[in-house]
Amino acid sequence: MASQLRQQCLWEHVLPPSAPGTPLAGETTAEVCVIGAGITGLCAAIHLLEQGRTVVVIDANRVGHGGSGRNVGLVNAGTWIKPDDVEATLGPVQGARLNSVLGQAPAEVFAMIERHGIDCQARNEGTLHMAHNPAGVADLRARHAQWSRRGADVELLSGGRCEEYCGTDKVAAALLDRRAGTLNPMAYARGLAAVVERLGGRLFQQSAVTGLQREGFGWRAHTAAGSVLADKVVISTGAYTEGEWSVVRGNYFRGYYYQVASRPLEGAAAEGVLPHGQGSWDTRAVLSSIRRDSEGRLLLGSLGRVDNKPAWFIKAWADRIQRHYFPALGKVEWDMHWTGMLDFTPDHLMRLYEPAAGLVAVTGYNGRGNTTGTVVGRALAEFLLTDRAEDLPIPFSANKPVSVPGLRSAFYETGFSLYHAGQCLRVIL
């Protein structure tokens, strides 16, 4: 009998059930209020607590509910775009700084995990960016050359070495980035939350912010059942930002990313898939991500959403990708699927904001939240401590809302759905 395909996030499924979150009730005070218990907000809170500040973290849902706990789990270096393009957009000085900070970001993630003893199945084995056609090979050659000039530990694999690392002969070349790696993102987020509480921070969940206003020299964040009065505020809600109170709303457009996980796989064919432990993604415009988890499951993902699509569609897409890259696996039983949201910006670069004194915000990770969130959380905390904007990885942006963000989101989602339908019908791959 075929397995039933469940709508459930694997990363949460493999962890012990978390304790019910405590909602905020009544009034409380802190030196800093962090809105959003994802990777950015939790890392900011940890750094502030380590410097002796009092911190309250509030979240509309549960720790890891958003993109922080639902992503692919890649610990990537750099941005979505090439490092030369970053410097062309930001200028040589600021662009070089951002490339340097995010190039070293995986090391900061792994150091955070080790320093605090976070059990999140982290592996620092690198990642593989896989070329699906000749244009993809050219793209990887450019990325390899640009990162190599900056001293990064990257290698362009081809021939038998590429097939060995990827576990498929359908990839002409692959960029191995040894700086990078993988983890269970939900376990990472929960581990960070545990550190916050261990350091004396107060964490309130199921407490959506309904308003944020100036009060005296500070800020008051309101929820349905309480409020937090703080000297300073960090807004780190990303694509899950809700409510007109937020200064970042409208400065990005939402996208979606879905994943499908198999049951645990065994045998020589399964062990031949990404045998050295890297996570990977290909060079398609509508990419496919591929990785295995610590229990041998095969995880496939792509841009778009499947929480609104039937099981046959999801299975047909996953079968198509799996049979193209790894036909030796035979028939794979798909077990669960889940969809998360991303905050995109037109130039694929994040934005930092300081709309008023003592209020900072970030948006636009463009799918690179595990590493970017870790370093930006620390950077925002350091800014609140020192007021040194020049030390930020990227300058503060002016408030420049994205035009018709809802239409952009709908346009992209329609395109992704049509592309995936073409894959299911074997019209395209």
Task: Look at residue 3 in the predicted model and tell me its pLDDT.
Answer: 63
Tell me the pLDDT of the chain (429 aa) as tens digits.
356 899 999 999 999 998 888 999 999 999 999 999 999 999 999 999 999 999 999 999 999 999 999 999 999 999 999 999 999 999 999 999 999 999 999 999 999 999 999 999 999 999 999 999 999 999 999 999 999 999 999 999 999 999 999 999 999 999 999 999 999 999 999 999 999 999 999 999 999 999 999 999 999 999 999 999 999 999 999 989 988 888 788 889 999 999 999 999 999 999 999 999 999 999 998 999 999 999 999 999 999 999 999 999 999 999 999 999 999 999 999 999 999 999 999 999 999 999 999 999 999 999 999 999 999 999 999 999 999 999 999 999 987 788 888 888 998 889 988 888 888 877 677
Q: For 118-234, where are the alpha helices, taking DSSP H only?
A: 134-149, 159-166, 185-198
Give the Cα separation of 157 and 134 in Å (integer).
Answer: 14
Measured from the Cβ of residue 23, the count of other Cβ atoms closer than 10 Å reads 16
Angle at 188 (CA atoms; ends 185, 191), nearest 5 degrees: 150
Amino acid at residue number 198: R
Torsion of CA 89, 395, 237, 177, to 10 degrees: 50
Q: What is the C-alpha R_g of the chain?
A: 21
Q: Beta strand pairing status for 218-223 and 279-282? A: unpaired
From the number of C-beta atoms within 10 Å of its C-beta (0-12, 13-18, 19+), residue 114 rates as exposed
Give the Cα separation of 46 and 55 in Å (integer).
Answer: 9
Give the Cα separation of 242 and 262 in Å (integer).
Answer: 33
Q: What is the DSSP letter of 285?
A: S
Same fold for the domain at 15-118+182-252+346-398 and the one at 253-344+403-429? Answer: no
Give the Cα separation of 109 and 181 in Å (integer).
Answer: 10
Tokens 């009092």 correspond to 54
Tokens 């000749």 correspond to 134
Task: Look at residue 344 in the predicted model and tell me its pLDDT.
Answer: 93
Torsion of CA 372, 257, 262, 292, to 10 degrees: -20
Contact 286, 420 (CB under 8 A): yes
> 413-420: long-range contacts (C-beta < 8 A, 24 or more apart)?
413/255, 413/256, 413/304, 413/305, 415/286, 416/256, 416/286, 416/302, 416/303, 416/304, 417/304, 417/309, 419/286, 419/304, 420/286, 420/302, 420/304, 420/313, 420/317
* 253-344+403-429 CATH: 3.30.9
Among the listed residues 125, 145, 69, the one whose alpha carbon sits nearest the alpha carbon of residue 339: 69
Residue ranges of the domains in the chain? 15-118+182-252+346-398, 127-178, 253-344+403-429
Return the percent helix, strand and coil in the chain, to nearest 5. Answer: 35, 25, 40
3-state secondary structure of 28: strand
Q: For 104-155, where are the alpha helices, taking DSSP H only?
A: 105-116, 134-149
Tokens 């990419």 correspond to 287
Torsion-angle region of residue 356: left (phi > 0), alpha (psi -120 to 50) or beta?
beta
Kindly write down the DSSP assignment for every residue of 360-383, as one continuous string.
EEEE--TT-HHHHHHHHHHHHHHH
Give the Cα separation of 278 and 175 in Å (integer).
Answer: 11
Among the listed residues 419, 80, 416, the one whose alpha carbon sits nearest the alpha carbon of residue 281: 80
What are residue 280's phi and psi, to 5 degrees? -150, 165
From the number of C-beta atoms within 10 Å of its C-beta (0-12, 13-18, 19+), residue 155 rates as middle
Sign of the CA dihedral with 216 first, then 218, 220, and 226 last? negative
Spacing of C-alpha 364 from chain mean position: 11
* Superfamily the domain 15-118+182-252+346-398 falls into: FAD/NAD(P)-binding domain (3.50.50.60)
Torsion-angle region of residue 336: left (phi > 0), alpha (psi -120 to 50) or beta?
beta
Give the Cα separation of 302 and 309 in Å (integer).
Answer: 14
